[in-house]
Structure 1
Amino acid sequence: MKRLTALLATACAALLYAAAALVFPHYAAAATMTEVTNFGANPGNLRMYVYVPNNVQPNPAIVLAMHPCGGSGPGFYSSSEFASLADRYGFVAIFPSASKKANCFDNWSDASKVRGGQTDPVSLMSMVTYVEQQYHGDPSRVFATGSSSGAMMTNAMLALYPEVFKAGAAFMGVPFTCFPNEAAYQPGGNSAPCVGKTAQQWGDLVRNANPSYRGPWPRMQLWHGTSDTVVAYAELEEEVKQWTNVHGLNQTPTSTATPQAGWNLRRFADASGSVKVEAYSIQGAGHSLPTSGMAAVAIQFFGLTGASPSPSPTVSPSPTPTVTPSPTPTVTPSPTVTPTASPCRVVYTANSWNNGFTADITITNRGTTAINGWTVTWTWPGNQQVANAWNATVTQSGAQVTARNVSYNGTIAPGAGTSFGFQASYSGTNTAPSQFTVNGSICAIT
């Protein structure tokens, strides 16, 4: 889809922080997310945030969790379930923030395709090494996951450093080395080079990144929505080709399942029955993954739950973690409102600095029928003023704000979600709205 460049450019302007980073102690306080500076070589100019749960294991596993374009480490911490799963299973989670091309992780430069290239993968490896050294992280249990741009980087990290990462989970990604240059970084609707290579060609690109490596190769779990118009659903098959070929498997699954309504799972196992690749097609889902419960499936695939991987683990609800305020960015907590039988849920995350902020809003359809066209409204409790937005058309009259879907994200299937964001200014206190409505219905806020 060729509109992605415009979306990325808008998000880039929206997500620049206005203050410099502070230096924090080596150890984050338990059950808080802390920014770490001076974590090692950082040619990608990334920012590192680390989350250490109260029940962190003595030699914890490490999960590198990477945000989509236009996002941030604190935003993915708040909007995904990986922090609450760290609370449950005792691993350390790293939430990096990208800095290039609308806060996308670099998946296009020549340097991003070679081991030791002076760009984002080297910075991410520095973060992993830091956690191994400072938190006694277990080097035999290091994993990567991410959404969209973060999923693309998940593919890259497993390809470039296969001896480091034991498994990955990529939500809405593309194969390693998909993009030949920055100008081609338009995942949706781009028929070449991201679609059309043979499995052997895709596999060779991974093997050529480490010509002397003989395995074992990391296991890979792949997710994509069938209605994704930002990163084309066709990219899922290219990823399947790449990773099954790396593992010496063909593209015929060894088993299939429907673990939940609308979730179609294909598994690819070796001769011993060990599953090396999983592919989830989410019927009707757009560019909105992971949604509720999917992160838990990824963590179980990693083997961090103490049980064998299964397609649909049961996860007890955990409260959304609250980011401890820091000078840049400060995450404004949202109030919790739970209307009875609410047909929708809203997650609101604001990242503030001085007199400005950006906010991400995720809408989830809790009803039994699809939402076809959505309008979100809220009222500011203060003097907040929206300046620009992405993935929605946002207007403001006084304190009243209205956000409407754009052409490619108007449909939200039951159980699915979509996200949009904006940049705004404020003075005084940046208090979150106390109520959101979707098409006139009051939503639960989490």
Structure 2
Amino acid sequence: MKRLTAWVAGVCTAVLCAALTAALPHQAAAATLTEVTGFGANPGNLRMHVYAPDNRPARPAIVLAMHGCGGSGPGLYSGSEFASLADRYGFVVVYPSASKKGNCFDSWSAESHVRGGGSDPVSLMSMITYTLERFGGDAGRVFVTGTSAGGMETNIMLGNYPDVFKAGAVFMGVPHSCFANEADYIPSPGASDCASGRVSRTPQQWGDLVRAAYPGYTGARPRVQLWHGTNDTLVYYATLQQQIDQWTNVFGLSQTPTSTDTPQANWNRRRYADSTGTVKVEAYGIQGAGHSLPSSGMAAAAIQFFGLTDSGPTSTPTPPTGACRVTYTPSTWNNGFTAAVTIANTGPADVNGWTLAWAWPGNQRITNAWNATATQQGAQVTARNAPYNATVAAGAAVTFGFQATYSGTNTAPAQFALNGTACSPAA
């Protein structure tokens, strides 16, 4: 079977990552992705980058965000929505870069499975400690998230350091201590027993692995949000249930959800609440999705789960609601069309870095784009700025285009969101 070169969508090439890193300054600066050296004990030989938005409170929350195999911290910064969400809600994002097995975070070694054992988790904790001190962070609002290898490491950090993290969001992960050793950590479809969901344990046994990471710990546990695509052929969908079994057992909850719903099309959510109604575990099965999460809107859902949307910065975010307008102009032929999309910034402040998201009402599918990078998962589309048109000045506009296919009726999207904020469609 053909070996995959990466475990996560959005990974940049080695040349691009090197170019990004080379362009970064080595001293901390607000609103700039900044590399930090000398951040503390670093047995995992990781690199650290930080994004601290200009608009943040005196004691900001901290989010540790980890890439997948083959990726980098700068790659996740440029290929995800966490930085734009940080601008909106005023938290600081730590982007580590892994160095093992083609840039994968270590979730397979015995050292990584226990608190203070060494390897990558200890390096990651050094980054958290540094960031709390450097930016005066709120130690009661530290969170962790990651995709694929980063999602696996998210479960590791939640189990090893439950007293540090308030909550975590895991995209395409596996349970804590799922890998028996490095030999099973194989980034190829079906090759790994753990990643293929073939490790058979009861909820109690899965839970015991978390409890063994910090023996004797009796304090509060971080809440957990889990995401997985039903068509993931690299880290199989079966691992989602294993993670549910693990964390519900850790919380002493039933494996039967207390509620189920579909908050968006193809997002099937199960929630597991305690006797007070507090949701401790939340699991999303994304219908039809492969190994490609998070897609549009999912990072925002994670930040909302963390509670960071309720206590953002006091000044007006950019862009505020209603401060943008989208003009969508399609040109249709038999089973195909092109479209020009103009984003007008009608607000008082510049938009620095933009992501435009929408959902198709039909079966439209984008085949290529210009002046933007467009990705599609099911009906959800995300278009991100090119390097040369990232800034949309107040009162100005930017236009990009794409080509797509369809069958039936080519109905225009009903609404758009710019950097997660609803945008008014032009009449």
TM-score bracket for this pair, using the shorter chain length: 0.7 to 0.9
Farther-moved stretch of structure 1 (204-213 vs 226-235): 226-235
Residue of 241, 245, 249 corresponding to 1:237: 241
Once the two structures are superposed, what CA deviation does each residue of 1:171-222 show, in whole Å capped at 9, x if it has no partner?
1111111111222113743573444211111100000111110121111000
- Structure 2 unmatched runs, 5+: 312-316, 321-325, 331-337, 342-354, 390-398, 407-415, 420-427
Equivalent position amino acid for 2:98 in 1: A
User: Aligned AA for 1:183?
Assistant: A
Structure 1 residue matching 2:144: 3-state secondary structure:
strand
Matched residue, 1:189: 190
Partner residue of 2:165? 165
Counterpart of 2:162 in 1: which secondary structure?
Answer: coil
Counterpart pick for 2:26 among 24, 27, 33: 24
Work out the CA distance in 2 between the residues paired with 1:86 and 1:368.
30
Q: Is the 8 A contact 1:288 1:416 kept in 2?
A: no
Query: 3-state DSSP class of the match of 2:300?
Result: helix
Q: For 1:317 and 1:237, locate their aligned partners in 2 and report how far apart those are by CA, in whole Å.
A: 38
Structure 1 distance, partners of 2:5, 2:79, is: 24
**Alpha-carbon distance in structure 2 between the residues aligned to 1:186 and 1:300:** 33
- Whichever residue aligns with residue 219 of structure 1, its letter is R
The yes-or-no answer on 1:43 pairing with 2:40 is no
Match of 2:380 in 1: 415
- CA shift digits 1:27-67 (9 cap, x unpaired): x3221111111111111111111111111111111000111
Counterpart CA distance in 2 for 1:12 and 1:113 is 28
3-state DSSP class of the match of 1:150? helix
Match of 1:294 in 2: 298
Contact kept, 8 Å, 1:344 with 1:364, in 2: the verdict is: no
Q: Using a 3 Å threshold, how does the CA distance of structure 1 residues 3 and 111 change in structure 2: closer, same or farther? A: farther
**C-alpha separation between the residues in 2 aligned to 1:344 and 1:66?**
34
SS state at 2:41 partner: coil
Distance 1:121 1:189, change over 3 A: same
Question: For the structure 1 residues 340 and 22, does the alpha-carbon distance in structure 2 shift closer, same or farther, using more than 3 Å as the test?
Answer: closer
Aligned to 1:326: none
Q: Over aligned residue pairs, what C-alpha RMSD do you find?
A: 3.8
Give the letter aligned to residue 253 of structure 1: P
Counterpart of 1:243 in 2: which secondary structure? Answer: helix
Tell me which of 218, 221, 234 is aligned to 1:214: 218
Kept in 2: contact 1:24–1:36 (CA 8 A): yes
1:205 aligned residue = 209
Percentage of pairs with the same residue: 58
- Call closer, same or farther: CA 1:115–1:230 in 2, change over 3 Å: same
Match of 2:176 in 1: 176
Could you list the runs of 5+ residues in structure 1 that have no partner in the other structure?
308-314, 319-336, 346-361, 380-408, 420-429
For 2:62, give the aligned amino acid: I
SS in 1 for 2:271: strand
- What is the 5 A alignment of 1:328-339? none
Paired residue secondary structure (2:242): helix
| Secondary structure in 2 matching 1:45 | coil
- The residue type paired with residue 122 of structure 2 is V
Rounded to whole Å, the distance in 2 between the matches of 1:269 and 1:344 is 45
- Asked whether the equivalents of residues 227 and 285 of structure 1 are also in contact (C-alpha less than 8 Å), the reply is yes
Kept in 2: contact 1:412–1:418 (CA 8 A): no
| Paired residue secondary structure (1:96) | strand
Structure 1 length as normaliser, TM-score?
0.70
* 2:110 match: 110
- Name the CA shift for 1:439/1:88 in 2 (closer, same or farther; >3 Å): closer
Partner of 1:130 in structure 2?
Answer: 130
**Structure 2 contact 329–340 (Cα < 8 Å) conserved:** no
C-alpha separation in 2, matches of 1:125 and 1:180: 23
Structure 1 residues 218 and 130, CA, compared in 2 at 3 Å: closer, same or farther? Answer: same
Q: How many residues align?
A: 361
Structure 2 distance, partners of 1:191, 1:47, is 27
